[in-house]
Amino acid sequence: MRIFNHFPSETHCFLCGSSADKPCVLVPVDGTGDGRIMQGEPIHVDCLMNGMRINAGLGIVYKRGEGT
């Protein structure tokens, strides 16, 4: 996954809600692809790294909500 040095100012991080200019990655959005190209949402790298968990039974990586 490519890391971009700057966060796009016209959008917000899906996880934290801010548009702080920090390194980010584009995460593919389910249901938006045509087999070659898919829409992506920028997410701050530090938001992804802090508090992530894996549910091996469901085959997903997720982040728990605040206070849980």
pLDDT on residue 51: 76
Q: Is the pLDDT of residue 68 over 80?
A: no
Compute the distance between CA of residue 36 and CA of residue 60 in angstroms, rounded to an integer. Answer: 23
CA 27/CA 54 separation, integer angstroms: 17
- Kindly report, residue by residue over 15-55, the tens digit of the pLDDT: 889 999 999 999 889 899 888 899 999 999 998 888 788 88
Q: pTM of this prediction?
A: 0.75
Token reading at 52? 């992530």
Q: Which domain holds residue 29?
A: 1-68
